[in-house]
Amino acid sequence: GAVVSQHPSWVICKSGTSVKIECRSLDFQATTMFWYRQFPKQSLMLMATSNEGSKATYEQGVEKDKFLINHASLTLSTLTVTSAHPEDSSFYICSALSGQLNTDTQYFGPGTRLTVL
Amino acid sequence: DAKTTQPPSMDCAEGRAANLPCNHSTISGNEYVYWYRQIHSQGPQYIIHGLKNNETNEMASLIITEDRKSSTLILPHATLRDTAVYYCIVIQGAQKLVFGQGTRLTINP
């Protein structure tokens, strides 16, 4: 149990385009999902917290209009990077939280590597 | 900022026990100690967590000192696939995880 998937696993896009990344909890319902970003040789940095059916809470310094998060169901959250630029190239990772399985434990997806040309 | 301190790197021989220390001297009474690891270019993997009692699962053991100011993650028989960055995180309830730099564990053949 506690499997989280992400799609796509990698994506290359042109500067100025938008990219959508999906995060799914496959065998449990996730009331809360988190989105992280990791630059090379750095640790994970939390971008935002999303709760099903409500607006996401963004960390300081993260532009909510650039990184659109939708958590429309208990098993799916999406992150859309709008008007992507080369500096947005990074490893994007989601995690899902379910009190049903192992109280308050976050389970992570495999990550999506975004390269903006 | 992370509430934990870990050595930046460690080496261990394959087949031996890997003991990864973590200091969390400011931990509060209702905060748990969580351990995750991240293998290169993958998402973090949950290993184990505990409050004050020692814990063991199929992956590892977690030893928490009586004063809860430090803990040790033990991989009993390390394999090459255990090479990863290990993160010790202190968290209360369903809060956001704050990742520090972790310990880069290298298992040598």
CA distances from residue A68 to A16, A25, A82, B11, B22 in whole angstroms, order as listed: 15, 19, 7, 41, 36
Output the pLDDT for position B1: 58
Residues 43-82 in B contacting A (C-alpha not used; CB under 8 Å): 43-46, 49
CA distance B35 to chain A (A): 10
Tokens describing residue A63:
């532009």
Q: Specify the pLDDT at position B42.
A: 95
DSSP of A26-80: SSS--SEEEEEEE-TTS--EEEEEEETTS--EEPTT--TTTEEEEEEETTEEEEE
Of A2, A49, A93, the CB nearest to B96: A49
The pLDDT of B29-50, averaged and rounded, is 94
> Which chain A residues are Cβ-neighbours of B93 within 8 angstroms?
104
The reported pLDDT for the residue numbered A101 is 55
Task: For residue B91, give the chain A residue with the closest CA.
Answer: A104
Phi, psi of A53 (to 5 degrees): 85, 5
pLDDT digits (tens, 9 = 90+) for B51-104: 998 999 999 999 999 999 999 999 999 999 999 999 999 988 767 888 999 999
Which candidate, A87, A84, A86, A48, places its Cα nearest to that of A69?
Answer: A48
Between CA A56 and CA A70 the distance in angstroms is: 8
Q: Please tell me the predicted confidence (pLDDT) of residue A53.
A: 82
Sheet architecture: strand order including A76-81: A4-7, A19-25, A76-81, A67-73
Which residues in chain B are closer than 8 Å to A39, comparing Cβ atoms? none
| pLDDT given for residue B3 in this prediction | 87
Partner residue opposite A104 with nearest CB, options B41, B45, B93: B93
Task: Extract the tokens encoding A74.
Answer: 């208990």
CA of A101, closest CA in chain B: separation in Å? 13
Query: What is the pLDDT at residue A31?
Result: 84
Q: What's the pLDDT at A103? A: 63
Bridge pairing between strands A10-13 and A112-116: parallel
Selected for mutation to probe chain B from A105, A107, A112, A115 (highest B CB count within 10 Å) is: A105
Q: Report the pLDDT value the prediction gives residue A89, as an integer from 0 to 100.
A: 97
Triad B95, B10, B107: Cα angle to 5°:
105
Instruction: Please provide the average confidence, as pLDDT, over all residues in chain B.
Output: 94
List the single residue in B41, B46, B49 with the smallest CB-CB distance to A107: B46
User: How big is chain A, counted in residues?
Assistant: 117
Cis peptide before A40 (omega within 30 of 0): no
Residue A2 φ/ψ, nearest 5 degrees: 65, 50
Residues of A in contact with B39 (CB under 8 A): none
User: What is the predicted pLDDT for the residue at B83?
Assistant: 97
At residue B106 the predicted structure's pLDDT band, cuts being 50, 70 and 90, is very high
User: What parts of chain A have a pLDDT lower than 50?
Assistant: none
Question: Which among A43, A109, A113 has the least Cβ separation from residue B100?
Answer: A43
As a whole number of angstroms, the distance between CA A104 and CA B90 comes to: 12
- CA A95 and chain centroid, separation: 7
Q: Which of B97, B98, B101, B104 to mutate to test the interface with A (most CBs of A within 10 A)?
A: B97
Tell me the percentage of chain B whose pLDDT exceeds 70. Answer: 96
